[in-house]
Amino acid sequence: MYRKIENSPRMTMHEASTRYPDDYILMQMEESNMINPAGIVLYVGDDDDELFSLQVKQPVPRGIVFEGDNLQLRYSLGGLVVG
């Protein structure tokens, strides 16, 4: 299940991971800064496959699907999570 984010806020990947910690995030990238890229958050959801298929159907130019902070930590093996 996913939902469209109204008014599509522009933020960095780290800000998006923090704001939507329990979701997968589909973002349209605008800036390719390697340390903390920024873009527009379009959709959030609980299934990464749904967001990947949504990205293909739209299509979202320079789209990327990534995990919120809590999801990253859930699959961490105890190392550092770099966002």
pLDDT of residue 66: 93
Angle (CA) 55 74 24, round 5°:
15
pLDDT digits (tens, 9 = 90+) for 19-38: 999 999 999 999 777 788 89
Q: Residue ranges per domain, the chain? A: 2-74
Assess contact for 37 and 53: CB atoms under 8 A.
Answer: no
pLDDT digits (tens, 9 = 90+) for 37-82: 899 999 999 999 999 999 888 888 889 999 999 887 555 555 455 5
pLDDT of residue 31: 76
